[in-house]
Structure 1
């Protein structure tokens, strides 16, 4: 599909009423927004398939939903640091931040590097990108050792006092995701949460209480990554 035809398709799906609804309901404010729901973009992305060239053209169009579509059709393994920096600097709300963080950044070769770098950024959605990527990485890399996620905990501790809504929500999300990866990380995440309760910060205390409520809850779904099925050499020993 060409850039011209893709933009025509996006225009045909546009609905100004949805722009207003997303702003009022979800706090999503975006420049050059057509008013297209995420679910409709996912359908279009499936129709297009992976197409890096088209994805770059869509992003450069400046149209909000075209940029969201870019995050759905660019191949994660082809993402470069330069592209990640170009994209993250433009994020204007949590929706586009999370779409790129979950769909591309967490699956890219530079995920861990950017998590560390962006966690120290001042810009709200660049910092959120660090923790949204961190949260998604918990599921994206099923083979990673626990030490990778243990190294995330100091980043969470440092950022927990950030009172900005979309930062603290992402920090909380990351802590909960670590705690659901396996039983050992669950214990460590809970320990970290209980330490956050001691901080003189409303944000840190909210993050901690919410994480403890889920991670100690009866319905919490604790996985078992890295599972032995992903480690053939260990299976042979047993």
Structure 2
């Protein structure tokens, strides 16, 4: 049944696809997708809302290999039914930042396997598998309302080590993770800034870029005001 429904959904996506959207993926957004139809994220979200949560359909859509079908799969899957093995399979299929980040930001961070995958994927060599570790860590920092500061502090050495990776999508993922951690609390803000300062002083271009990018973001008045407000609420 799910395979039949997946075929119907894929046909719908094909009808919704636009050449102008597809042609803009690489030059405008840096998205290189092998099987792309040209369906915008806004349209995919509307389709997802109409479908509702459907784990079986998500699995079937992923197997099509279609970029938009996979994006849709991350939007409709049920995190309670997502297994560690499924996360592993999907991670190995990541071939651009958009599917990597969407899976982490919309689905994987809500599973009980999330922190474990941060550790596992941080050791990977393929660019988007390694990025997934830090996209997932960033997503957890932004969405997880229950974990302690220590749950994130323990990942700072991992971030420091990965900052040496000069590959574009890895270093941007590392920056995203550290910036996100730095917005959770005053203590994490201080720790993130301290690490960022150390990275920014590096003679190596990659960690220097990460450090400066993080410092620029965490020094913004909007961020510092939010951190101060959070600290006041905890008093």
Q: Does TM, normalized by the shorter one, top 0.5? A: yes
Aligned match of 1:16 in 14, 19, 30?
19
- Judge conservation of contact 2:95–2:128 (CA < 8 Å) in 1: yes
Partner of 1:113: 116
Does residue 62 (structure 1) correspond to residue 65 (structure 2)? The answer is yes
Please provide the CA RMSD for this pair.
Answer: 1.7
1:120, CA displacement in angstroms?
1.2
Match of 2:136 in 1: 133
Determine the structure 2 residue equivalent to 1:176: 179
From 190, 193, 202, give the equivalent of 1:190: 193
Q: Secondary structure at the match of 1:219?
A: helix
Report deviation, 1:183.
0.9
Instruction: Tell me the number of residue pairs that the alignment of Structure 1 and Structure 2 aligns.
Output: 228
Q: State how far apart, in whole Å, the 2-side matches of 1:27 and 1:216 are.
A: 27
Partner of residue 32, structure 2: 29
TM-score, normalization by structure 2? 0.92
How do residues 41-120 of structure 1 correspond to structure 2 at under 5 angstroms? 41-120=44-123
Q: Is the 8 A contact 1:76 1:103 kept in 2?
A: no
Counterpart in the other structure of 1:219: 222
Corresponding residue of 1:232: none
CA deviation map 1:117-173 (0-9, x unaligned):
111111000000000000010122111111001011011000001101110001001
Show the counterpart of 1:146: 149
TM-score normalised over the length of structure 1: 0.91
The 3-state SS of whatever aligns with 1:78 is coil
Structure 2 portions without partners, runs of 5+? none
Q: Choose which of 123, 126, 146 in structure 1 pairs with 2:126.
A: 123
Question: Any conservation in 1 of the 2:74–2:102 contact (CA below 8 Å)?
Answer: yes
Residue 122 of structure 2 contacts residue 133 of structure 2 at CA under 8 Å; is this kept in 1? yes
Which protein has the bigger helix share? 2
Which sections of structure 1, spanning at least 5 residues, go unmatched?
229-238
Q: Decide whether the 8 Å contact of 1:59 with 1:66 is kept in 2.
A: yes
2:9 matched residue in structure 1: 6
Q: What CA distance in whole angstroms lies between the structure 2 residues aligned with 1:29 and 1:139? A: 26
